[in-house]
Amino acid sequence: MRLTARSSFLYSLVLILIIAGTFVLTVAADTTKVNKPALPADAASVLSSRTIRLIEIDAPITPVVAEYIIKSIDRAAKAHVEALIIQLNTPGGLVDSTQQIVMKMMASEVPTVVYVAPSGGRAASAGVFITLAANIAAMAPTTHIGAAHPVQMQGKMDETMEKKAVNDLAAMMRGIAEKRGRNAKWAEDAVRNSVSITETEALENKVIDLVAPDIPALVKAMDGWTVEMVIGKRTLRTSGAEVEKITMGFRDKVLGIISNPNVAYILMILGFYGLYFELSNPGAIFPGVAGAICLILAFYALHTLPINYAGLMLIILAMALFIAEAFITSHGILGVGGTISMLLGSVMLIDSPVPALQISWAVIIPVVAMSALLFIITVTVAVRVHREKTDTGREGLLGKQAEARSDLNLTGQVFVHGEYWNARSNEPVHKGEKVAIVGIDGLTLIVRKAESSGK
């Protein structure tokens, strides 16, 4: 059903107000999440000495996760808490995001504790850097750490580039381990040889500082530890400390969801379809507005992901071919090309060794299938319309039957479609007989006796 201009404007306005209101509430919730009423200096000192903050990271290391960890460190420092515990379970992530987190942890004014948990969890790839950068590194039983060899996101690196990347990250890992007094040789091997070890082996090899079954046990074990900070040494007093769990704010959760490769991919496709429906039905407005919003959100997400631009261009080409199919009669060639281009582009769009940073086949196949189905429906309707005889206007009269309203002795009148027409026949036709319209000469119909009206 076609939307009127007024209803389209109202739909668009409501959508924009909802999105604007959501982000306003998000910012407000995010800024008030960890703020507490001001206390006198002495009371604040007592409270801070008995407070530990806890955040949980159970996701790949992306720019959104990096921003969340960095904010958490800054807020913990401002609140003068005893320590910040980062409960970590990650398959790895992006090098740039990892470097940002490590730099912040190395320069942190609040002691940072990385706890690889829960049981069965891991600190792989980027997680190794973050764990070793902590003032105190701990692991839960039946967890493992390692396999930090770099992998190029957009295909296999050549030998020279791989050597440079490995040497750079190995030097970074060795520097972190030496600064924190941990096993630098193993840390370097984790990068060069992708070695991985359990929590027991990590403790024996001095990769971590302790093994704890849960957070209370970790807090108890940390009491009395002296850690090296940028501002000097600090002894932790965690006995009886209150653990304050800080959950990710609504804003960060939304950005995290959007940054999911599958969600970003779907948003991008919806955005292109919104523009497609707007161009194929000019004036609808709402599809265009909704499509533009989806595209902006998708491009934000793709900016945070290791995308392959060849894949992105193939998807854009696919949508261009689908749009062209709606306006150009190509007998399906443009549509088939668009389907193939979308399939190849979807497969190439994100090529990451981390499964959580890949587009799932369970998403790619339905999206491409729906796109192909839309193309098939569009082509089928176009072919049917092309084959159907015109049933309006003068051309729609050809082949129709009419009734003679007067004797046709060369000329006379016939009645068809509720109208009287002047008619001409090369054979006599009596009033009331059925005639078939075989031609049009100006405003005169050329007729002959219908086969059913014979003798």
Quote the Cα angle for 21-27-30, to 5°: 135
At 27, give phi and psi (nearest 5°).
-60, -40
- Say which DSSP state 57 is in: E
* Alpha carbons 123 and 187: distance in angstroms, whole number: 13
User: Does the annotation count 452 as an active-site position?
Assistant: no
Which residues are within 8 A (CB) of 208 and not within 5 positions of it... i.e. 6 or more apart?
116, 131, 137, 138, 139, 145, 182, 199, 202
Are 210 and 131 contacting, i.e. CB atoms less than 8 angstroms apart? no
Of the candidates 138, 128, 110, 118, which has an alpha carbon nearest to the alpha carbon of residue 53? 110
Catalytic residue among 108, 125, 259, 346: 125
- 233 catalytically annotated: no
Query: What is the H or E stretch that residue 46 is in?
Result: helix 41-48
Q: 200-233 burial by CB neighbour count: b if 16+ within 10 A, else e?
A: ebbbeeebbbbbbeebeebbebbeebebeeeeee
349 three-class SS: helix
CA dihedral over 370, 374, 375, 380, signed as positive or negative: positive
Half-sphere exposure of 283 toward its Cβ, with a 13 Å CA cutoff?
A: 6
Cβ-based neighbours of 203, under 8 Å, separated by 6 or more: 139, 209, 210, 211
Q: What are the phi and psi torsion angles at 443 (to 5°)?
A: -105, 15
| Given the residues 164, 185, 245, 431, the one annotated as active site | 164
Tokens, residue 242:
């209150």
The catalytic residue positions are 125, 164
